Amino acid sequence: MRNCAVIGAGILLAAGCSHAERQARTAGEHGAVKGRATATRSPSPTPPPPRKIDCDRVKCVALTFDDGPGPYTARLLDTLKKNGARATFFMLGENVGAHRDIVRRMALEGQEVANHSWSHPDLTTLSPSEVRSQIQRTQKAVKDASGITPTLVRPPYGSTNKRVEHAIGMPLVLWSVDTLDWRYRDVARDTRVGVNEPKSGGIVLFHDIHKPSVDSIPKVVDGLRKRGFTFVTVSELFTGRRLAPGTSYSERTAPPVQVTASPPAGGSSTGPPAASKAPTAPAPAGSAPGAPAPDASASRGPVPGSPAPGGPSPSGPAPSGLAPAPPLPVSPR
């Protein structure tokens, strides 16, 4: 009996040890897996911040692309990344879902993501609630894909009015150069317009849903860089300036420069310069005290260019020394 008890206790002890060993082994395996998962998990990448570029001093241009993302957008991003160029993408919300990885890549590579409505209607034909729906649905789609909430809107066709501006409640971005790439679909023409027409502070309109447009960008970037341009996003273009909600912007204009005349022009607030007194010639010997001195110029004859004695005086206003300022050029948009 005693032997049976001893044998039974031994079996229980062995079973308990075996169970304990299994628990320890399982815990160790879970710990190892958890440790490996912790070791391999890397922090999620974040988009780079906008650069601080003074486009009043630097020759800046903002390339913008509408209606994407599409089948050629990834190749366009390759070109921009290779050249260290940044641009702005005004996207349609209905296109974002099929290209979420492309939209995320835009943000991570420092490109600006922006809103171009959900389905490209003329917003001026919609009610305020319909306008808000077009914008808000796109805001959500872009935010979900990229992690970034757009701050800029480009109304389709550039069509807007006070009612649309109020309904959107965000700054509206138009353009200073319309390449018309959607109409001509011609690489050579897109390149020529894209290189030659931009001016400092300009915003250039392309469409990344058209293959010829994307094909032209390597030469456009190269040509503009040779002209001394720096490629910026729209938000970077307006660094240092507040973009007001409901206001449309087509370019960054240079700040006004105050011009002053030296000496001040006639009729200016500072008045004409004080007249100086000519030295009085000494009276000749023998003249009466108080008698006027003779005109020294009489013996030299008339000064060239002056009116003859007794002749008529020249007509017209006296020259001020400051030519009238030419009229300021009017922006085409």
The single residue of 178, 207, 208, 210 carrying the catalytic annotation is: 207
Answer whether 142's CB lies under 8 Å from 96's CB.
yes
Residues 154-169: what's their mean pLDDT?
Answer: 98
Nearest-angstrom CA–CA distance, 112 and 64: 9
Cis, peptide link before residue 264, omega less than 30° from 0: no
Nearest-angstrom CA–CA distance, 265 and 263: 6
32-86 per-position pLDDT tens digit? 444 454 445 566 788 898 899 999 999 999 999 999 999 999 999 999 999 999 9
172-229 per-position pLDDT tens digit? 999 999 999 999 999 999 999 999 999 999 999 999 999 999 999 999 999 999 999 9
Q: Tell me the CB-side half-sphere exposure of residue 244, using CA atoms within 13 A.
A: 5
Note the Cα 226 to chain centre separation in Å. 20
Q: Is the dihedral of CA 233, 228, 210, 207 positive or negative?
A: positive
How would you classify the pairing of strands 202-207 and 60-66? parallel
Q: Does residue 4 surpass a pLDDT of 70?
A: no
The single residue of 66, 67, 181, 208 carrying the catalytic annotation is: 66
- pLDDT given for residue 248 in this prediction: 98
Answer whether 76's CB lies under 8 Å from 209's CB.
no
- pLDDT given for residue 45 in this prediction: 81
129-142 per-position pLDDT tens digit? 999 999 999 999 99
Is residue 210 flagged as an active site residue? no
Instruction: Please report the DSSP string for 12-52 in residue order.
Output: HHHHHHHHHHHHHHHHHHHHHHHHHHHHH--PPP-PPPPP-
Q: Does residue 324 surpass a pLDDT of 50?
A: no
Answer whether 219's CB lies under 8 Å from 186's CB.
no
Measure CA of the first residue to CA of the last residue in the chain; give whole Å: 108
Is residue 207 flagged as an active site residue? yes
pTM: 0.67
Task: At 206, give phi and psi (nearest 5°).
Answer: -125, 175
Q: How wide is the angle at C-alpha 311 spanned by C-alphas 308 and 312, nearest 5°?
A: 125
